[in-house]
Structure formats: structure tokens, C-alpha cells
Amino acid sequence: MQTGDAPEQPESVRKTALYGTAVPADRQRERLTDGDVPVAVYGLGKMGLPLAAVYAETAGNVTGVDIDPAVVETVTAGESHVVGEPDLAELVAEQVRQGRLDATTDGPAAAAEARVHVIIVPTLLDEENEPNLTTVESVAADIAAGLSPGDLVIAESTLPPGTCRDVLQPFLAAESGLDPEEFGLAFCPERTSSGTALRDIRGQYPKVVGGTDDESTRAAALVYDELSANDVHPVADATTAEAVKVFEGIYRDVNIALANELGRLADDLGISVREAIETANDLPMCQLHDPGPGVGGHCIPYYPHFLLSQMDEPMALTRTARAVNESMPSVVVDRLDRELAAVGTDLDGASIAVLGITYRPGVEETRASPALGVIDELQERGADVAGVDPLVDPADYGARPLSIDEFESSAVDGAVVVTPHDEFGRIDWDAAEPMVVVDGRDATELEETTHRVYTLAGSRRGRPPRPGARSASSEGDANPTDAVSEESDGRRLSEDAGGDSPNESAANRTDGGTDVQG
């Protein structure tokens, strides 16, 4: 739709509209930042609340919408229910105090007042690994109930390519009674990591925008040019923008699968594959990710299915990558089984502690966490499984809960390091009874202890998975090993491990433990 083609609108509508208006762009920017353009953000979860707060500090007139009354009550009280996000609680408190941010469970009412509608709710998979758009469509129904000519709808939820064009636009038009040319619709993928949400939204990465028509792209670009300090990158259309986000996730999944496949060669080669990867990455054309016990989070394990479920092409590489990454928890348990057997212990009936239940250090999120697969596999093989995690209750995931102190004093047969939380840095390994430790993250320093250690893919300092073992068939002896870690996502589980955040290099070559672009 070209500017000026919209039906005649009342002055009260025209003065705040960003789509299809003859108002000059600089005046539109003024109205947006002066609070004259009401914004509704639908979904106040881990990414939605930070986005709503940044919209509030930019636009000054934001209503957050969530179906959970407890979430709404918390936000309206000026508090944040999202943990692990630096400065978010303070930003929410300030925006609510100034009257720039409010919250409600009444989506249609919020839609009736808003001129910009931002969708940021999850798109999950059903039991057949098909994208489930139920939540997105529910939000779209609320928006349609209050949609007015000149409104702009922005989807930040990750969607299968073609959803804005083929699903959302026809749905919004049919439910609202408006012609598709009377409102704008754009896809602007969320590029945010848990733990750095405010930094990322404010401009850590370029913002991609693509609309169902040129005017939608223009209006969305205007909005994000105000929100973000980084470049705004318009693309041809909404479907292209949707593909950008999905492609980012698939690239990482395939790269991680390659790293995991190479990592599994460490035993046969008798080397540290981690050291080989780190050294290979000295060349800019080589950017191998880190091997690990699997891929977790609400992004990478899901997005490949957004294409696999609807494309005629076989996509054999993408399918294989998914299979490799999904197999890694079993691989880890296989290694544990072998190392226990070497010291005369049967996994069936053994007591095993899983260190780290969440998918990423310091983030209270367990969706698709590799630890869940490790727990399931251990239990299927007859092990008694305990869990240690400072952020969640392992009992909720089928493991007997242990505190760090209880772990130190427990006579377990083995431990699997899945997610290296900073808190694990205070584990006194010398105080623990000798055990087999399978370190899936190259995160321990146990060379001076009595524990038998196997480091998946070897250590970055060049030690093979089990020092002295030249191949998988070399069982070696039951003597303590000296697997040493230089770093794992910027963290070590030694007593002097620091609490610094992962650096950019570690975060961008992730094994799924660091979900940079959620």
C-alpha cells in the first residue's frame, strides 16, 4: 500500500497512526517517542518483558499483555518476575513508576487502545514436531478485536517462513473486518539472549525488518530505528525476515552437530578435539562451535522443524544434524557406563549425580535441556539419579535433589557435568568420595583429586578425554586422572572459578549451552 491510499480516517486516528499516513516521518518519530502512539506488547515472558520495558523507555506509552494474572500483578506493582536479567527489575520499576508501562490480562481492551501491536509469544512444536501456532493465533484474535485502520502489527515470535503472509494477514483481516491494505504487518525477529536481553534489544545486533508490503516495512523500520542503537536492516518481505531467523538457528544446529560428531572422535584419535577445534578456528573461514552433551533452549532445537515440517525438499543435512544433537545425552551416558565398568561398577544400580539441570549456566530455563535427556537415559539404564542445580528443583525433572553441600558428602558412584553453573565453582571435590566424573563441558579441574575423570571431546589445554587412553578400546586403569579445563563458556568448576559472563567468542561458538539468539 502506498502512502495516501488509505481510506479517510478521523483526525484522532490519523494523528497517531504510523502505517498509511501522510504525516512526515520525522513527525511520526516525534509522536512515537512523545507517547502519542500507544503500544501493546503481547507476551511478558523472558523475552517479552524486557522488550516491553525497552518499548516503554522509548515510546513512553506501553501496555503489556499476558494471560497469567500473577505476571500482570507483578508488573503492575513495578516488579519483574524474570530472573537473571541484569537491570531489568530496575527498568521495569522506573517505567511503571513514571506511568510509561502498565500490564493487563485483557488483550482485546489493550488492542483497542494501541496503534502498534507487538507479538512475542512462543511458537512451540506439537507431538509430531509440527509448529503449533495456537498461542500466536490466540494473540492475533485479541489484536483483531481492537484493530483499527492505520495500525501496525509486528511479530517478533519466531515463525515458520510464510506465516505472516499466509496465516496472520488473512486471519487479522477476516477477524477484524478490515481490508489487508488498511493495516500494516511486519516480521522483526527477536535476536536476544537470556541474560543479556536489554543489551541485545537496545542494539547489540542489527534489527531485521520485513513487511507484507513496502509500507509495513517502512513503518516497522521507523519504530526499530528508535528502539535500537544498531542498524535496521530492511529485507524484501516478511517471509524473507522469517527465514532469516530460522536460518540462523539451523546454521547453529548444523554447526554444533558437526562439532559433536568430531568430538566423538577424540577417543579413537587419542587427542583433544577441543584443542583441535580451537586451533582450527584461528582461520577466519573456520568457525566450528563447541562440542557438548546436547543442544538446549527454546530456539535451536525447535527452529529446524519450522522448515522440515513444510518443505518438499528432503533437507537431509538438517535432519541429520538434529539426530546427532538429539543423540548426545545417550552418548554421554555411554561414556559414563564405560568409565564405570573400568572401575568395576555397573551403571544398573549405580548412584549418579547430574550437575546442572537448566540448559544454560545462570538461566532459569530447562526447555529441551540436555540434562533432561541424560536423566531419562540414566533412569532407563537402572541408575539412581540425583540432581544438583541452584536455580531449579531437580525433583521436578525426575531426579532426587541434592544441594552442593549434600553432593560433597554423598557417596555417589558417578557425576555428569551437564551445565556448569557458577555456583559449582565452590564444590570441594577433595571432600567428596572418589567417583567417576564425566565432564560434558570441559569445566572441571580435578588433576589433584582421587576422581576418575572423562572429559567429552578432551580439554582445550590439549588433554585427551581420558589422559593415557589412546583409543576407546584402551580401558587403562582405575587410577585418578588429571583432566584439566582451561574454560567452558568462560567458567571453570575449580574452587577459584570466577563469575564472569561468557565472552563473545564463547557465546557465538556455543554447544547449545549459550543461546545467543533466542
pLDDT of 478? 37
Active-site annotation holds for 299: yes
pLDDT value at 7 more than 60: no
Phi, psi torsion values for 101, nearest 5 degrees: -135, 130
Q: Which residues pair with 152 in a beta bridge?
A: 116, 184
Q: Which three three-digit cell numbers place residue 126?
A: 506439537
pLDDT of 15? 55
Within 116-272, strands assigned E span 116-119, 124-125, 131-132, 152-155, 184-187, 207-211, 232-234
Q: Which residues pair with 387 in a beta bridge?
A: 354, 401
Same fold, 14-236 and 247-318: no
Task: Tell me what the mean pLDDT of segment 309-323 comes to.
Answer: 95
pLDDT value at 481 more than 80: no
The CATH architecture assigned to 14-236 reads 3-Layer(aba) Sandwich (3.40)
Active-site annotation holds for 245: yes
pLDDT of 448? 83
pLDDT value at 18 more than 50: yes
CATH number for the domain whose boundaries are 247-318: 1.10.1040
Choosing from 46, 188, 207, 245, which is the catalytic residue?
Answer: 245
The class level of CATH for 325-455 reads alpha beta
Q: Which of 193, 259, 322, 295 is nearest to 460 (CA)?
A: 259
Q: Which three three-digit cell numbers place residue 252?
A: 547453529
What pLDDT, in 10s, does the model give residues 417-473? 999 999 999 999 999 999 999 999 999 989 889 999 999 999 999 999 987 554 443
Tell me which H or E stretch contains 400.
strand 400-401
Any residues with CB less than 8 A from the CB of 337 and at least 6 apart, and which? 347, 381
Q: How far is CA 142 from the centre of its chain?
A: 26
Helical H runs in 147-213? 163, 169-176, 197-199
Task: Tell me what the mean pLDDT of segment 493-515 comes to.
Answer: 36
Which residue in the block uniquely carries the three cell numbers 577459584? 496
pLDDT value at 507 more than 60: no
pLDDT value at 510 more than 60: no
Q: Which of 45, 154, 150, 37 is nearest to 103 (CA)?
A: 45
* Percent with pLDDT over 70 in the chain: 87
Instruction: Answer whether 190's CB lies under 8 Å from 161's CB.
Output: no
Any residues with CB less than 8 A from the CB of 62 and at least 6 apart, and which? 38, 39, 40, 41, 52, 55, 56, 95, 100, 101, 102
Strands 184-187, 351-355: pairing kind: unpaired
Mean pLDDT of the chain: 89
Where do the domains of the chain lie?
14-236, 247-318, 325-455
pLDDT of 468? 58
Which residue in the block uniquely carries the three cell numbers 582405575? 478
For the chain, the farthest-separated pair of C-alpha atoms sits apart, in whole angstroms, at: 84
Instruction: Answer whether 228's CB lies under 8 Å from 201's CB.
Output: yes
Instruction: Answer whether 133's CB lies under 8 Å from 141's CB.
Output: no
How much is the pTM? Answer: 0.86
Any residues with CB less than 8 A from the CB of 466 and at least 6 apart, and which? 267, 339, 452, 453, 454, 455, 476, 481, 483
Q: Which of the residue ranges 235-239, 328-332, 479-483 would you say has the lowest mean pLDDT?
A: 479-483
Q: How many CA atoms lie within 13 A of 312 on its CB side?
A: 0
Q: Which three three-digit cell numbers place residue 350?
A: 549405580
Choosing from 46, 188, 207, 299, which is the catalytic residue?
Answer: 299
Instruction: Answer whether 445's CB lies under 8 Å from 492's CB.
Output: yes
What pLDDT, in 10s, does the model give residues 137-169? 999 999 999 999 999 999 999 999 999 999 999
What is the signed CA dihedral for 314, 316, 318, 323, rounded to 10 degrees? 120
* Percent with pLDDT over 90 in the chain: 83
Task: Tell me what the mean pLDDT of segment 270-280 comes to.
Answer: 97
pLDDT value at 475 more than 80: no
pLDDT level of residue 2 (50, 70, 90 thresholds): very low
